[in-house]
Amino acid sequence: MARVKFLCDADRCIDCNACVTACKNANEVPWGINRRRVVTINDGKPGERSVSMACMHCTDAPCAAVCPVDCFFTTADAVVLHSKDLCIGCGYCFYACPFGAPQYPKLGNFGSRGKMDKCTYCSGGPEGADGSAAEFAKYGANRMAEGKLPLCAEMCSTKALLAGDGEIIAQIYRERVLKRGYGSGAWGWQTAYKETVNV
C-alpha cells in the first residue's frame, strides 16, 4: 500500500482555516481541541507564510516511541493511530511530537488529562470496526476505509494542503514549483520523514 503523507504548499495557503473547519466537522472534534491548525510565520512582515499543520504521521514516530503504555499502531498506509482504550493521558506524546499534534480534553494536572486525541488521517481508530458509530464517537471519521482522503485536504480552498501517496503529492508539488518558479519547500518533511521534496 501507499505511504500517505500531508504536504502544505505554504506559497498557496491563505490562512483561511477551511481545513480546520472541515476537520472539526468531519470528525466532530470537541471544543478546545484542534487536530489541525494554521500557523502564520513572520505575520505581517514581508515573506510571511502560513502553514496548515496536523499530525504528520511521522516515520519512526516520536509519540509512539515515548508512550509509556505503547498504545500506538501504524497502519498499512503508514498512518499513526493510537488506542484511546489504552492511553493513560500522560502527555508525553505532546513533548515528543515535533508538530504539537496531540491534544487533551483536560488541562491542569498531569494525573487527569484524559484520553489523547489527534489527527487520524481520517482513518478512524486502530481497533478495526471501520465506520461503526462507536469508532466515530471515539476517533472520528474513517474516510480512508471508504477510499476517500482526509477532508481537510479535500476541502482546501486553494489546494495548498495535499494529502495522499507521498510520491504523488511530492510530484504535484514539484511540478507547481517548476511552473510558478518558486516554493518555500515542504514544511516539516525533513523533520517528519527525513527527506524533502527536491525541485
Partner 1 sequence: MRVFLIAVTSMIAVAVGAYYGLNLIQKPADVAFAVSGARLDAPGQPGG
Partner 2 sequence: MFKAALIALLLAAAIPTAHAQAPSRQEAPASGFNPTATEVKEQDLLNALSKVEGRISIPDTRAATLIQPAGQTWRDYRRGPLLWITAAIVLGMMALLTLFYLIRGRIRIEGGRGTRTVLRFGAFERFMHWVTAASWCVLAVSGLNIVAGSRVLLPLIGQDAFSTVSGWLKYSHNFLAFPFTSGVVLMLLVWVRHNIPNRMDLEWFRQGGGLFGHRHPHSRKFNGGQKAVFWIVVLGGGALAATGFTLMFPFYITDVTGMQLAQIAHGGVSLLMIGAMLGHIYIGSVGMEGALDAMNSGQVDRKWAAAHHDLWLAEVDAKSTPSGHPAE
What are residue 81's DSSP bridge partners? Answer: 73
Q: Using the CB atoms, write b or e for 112-132: b if 16+ within 10 Å.
A: ebebbbbbbbbbbbbbeeeee
Applying CB under 6 A, among 6, 99, 173, 193 the residue interacting with ligand SF4 is 99
Q: How many residues of this chain bind ligand SF4 (CB under 6 A)?
A: 26
Q: Which is nearer to ligand SF4, 12 or 57 (CB)?
A: 57
Say which entry of partner 2, ligand SF4, partner 1, none residue 118 contacts (CB below 5 to 8 A, set by partner kind). ligand SF4
Whole-angstrom distance, CA of residue 142 vs CA of residue 145: 6
Applying CB under 6 A, among 7, 8, 22, 87 the residue interacting with ligand SF4 is 87
Shortest spacing between CB 39 and partner 2, in angstroms: 4
In this structure, what DSSP letter does residue 110 have? G
Say which entry of partner 1, ligand HEM, ligand SF4, none residue 80 contacts (CB below 5 to 8 A, set by partner kind). ligand SF4
The grid cell for 101 is: 499534534
**Radius of gyration of the chain from its Cα atoms, rounded to whole angstroms:** 16
Binding site for ligand HEM (CB under 6 A): 90, 110
Whole-angstrom distance, CA of residue 45 vs CA of residue 23: 29
In the complex, the residues that contact ligand SF4 under the rule CB under 6 A are 55-58, 61-63, 67-69, 71, 80, 82, 87-93, 97, 99, 101-102, 116, 118
